Amino acid sequence: MKDNIIYTGKKPIAVEEGIYLYSKDRYWGKATPEKMKEALGFINSKGWTAFKNKFKGEFDFTFDENRADWRFNMPIDKNSVVLETGAGMGRTTIPMARVAKKVVAFDGSLLRMRYLKKRAEKEGLDNIEVFVGDLYDLPLRDNSFDVITMNGVLEWVGKTDRFKNPRQAQIEALKICKRLLKKNGYLYIGIENRFALAYLRGTDHGGLKYTSYMPRFVANIYSKAKGRGAYQTYTYSKGGYENLIKEAGFENMEFYLSYPGYNLPRIIIPYDNLNILKYVIKKLKPTTSFTSLLVKGVASLRFILWLYRKMFFSFSIIVKK
């Protein structure tokens, strides 16, 4: 029975292995569903040690405890109730649950929630609740959470036909989070920068190069022409996120640069402080090659630092209700 302080009482469409499904199961992830099933079966039959050995290098990232290190920038303690949207395999759910009173984690994929449930059991964390659900149709009461996380989620919520365009979908998702947050609660957003330098080399979320740099309508035509369907995974610059978040009704937000990325925030730099960015580049990065020496040299130039920040790979955004 779900805690009726948080849950609305909406009936699940199914219950599988003790996990409530409030929406249809939709698998996503780098591993194929077959691989996930095999992994879960292996954990059941052989245990975690054997699993880690057999699947070495494939699921290791789910055991890192530093993936939610952005939580240090928020006031989270043993009284905090946290909602993790798109919790996946729990790489941030587990670290959050160690310091919070309760973490409610949901995802569109039953297989991933089964994995997270098993991880919670393994770690002896009985303060994690999981369910399968859709952000736009949650069984949760308003004003219930001290913290909500959208770690690698906001860019994907536009992949829906519910709204006239991905931006509207993103604003609606943020509005939902605002409603679910308690007064003075915090929303965490981990997401890429639309104009990241990395997107000039690698692919955007839709699997194509340069689409984040293109005007949206061009990216849409290009994506369809390439057989990838409509372009729905919008990312933004810092200013773009500020406008989006404000349009959802929030006013207070702080931006951080996460390095190497929001998924593994080894270094978290306050966005507004160029001195700290300079310090990281010049003093903390070792000089191992001519290129690193060159980078350190040009980091003395304010304009270069400013430009580098504009093209930084990802942001950690802390928004206060």
Q: Provide the binding-site residues for other proteins, judged by CB under 8 A.
A: 53, 64-67, 69, 71-78, 95, 98-99, 265-270, 273, 275-276, 278-280, 282-288
CA distance 8 to 306: 47
Q: How far is the CB of 293 from other proteins (least distance, A)?
A: 9
| Residue among 203 and 273 whose Cβ is closer to other proteins | 273
| Residue among 163 and 313 whose Cβ is closer to other proteins | 313
| Residue among 45 and 275 whose Cβ is closer to other proteins | 275
Q: How far is the CB of 27 from other proteins (least distance, A)?
A: 27
In angstroms, what CA-CA distances link 213 with 171, 209, 210?
21, 9, 5
| Residue among 246 and 285 whose Cβ is closer to other proteins | 285
Take residue 80 and report the two structure tokens written for it. Answer: 């905090």
Take residue 149 and report the two structure tokens written for it. Answer: 């996380």
256: left (phi over 0), alpha (psi -120 to 50) or beta: beta
Q: How far is the CB of 186 from other proteins (least distance, A)?
A: 10
| Residue among 18 and 124 whose Cβ is closer to other proteins | 124
CA distance 74 to 321: 13
The phi and psi torsions of 216 (rounded to 5 degrees) equal: -55, -45
Residue 314 exposed, middle or buried by CB count within 10 Å (0-12, 13-18, 19+): buried
Q: How far is the CB of 288 from other proteins (least distance, A)?
A: 6
Q: Which amino acid is at 263?
A: N
Q: How far is the CB of 211 from other proteins (least distance, A)?
A: 30
Take residue 13 and report the two structure tokens written for it. Answer: 């469409």
Q: How far is the CB of 191 from other proteins (least distance, A)?
A: 18
| Residue among 62 and 237 whose Cβ is closer to other proteins | 62
Q: At what angle do helices 238-247 and 166-180 cross, to 10 degrees?
A: 60
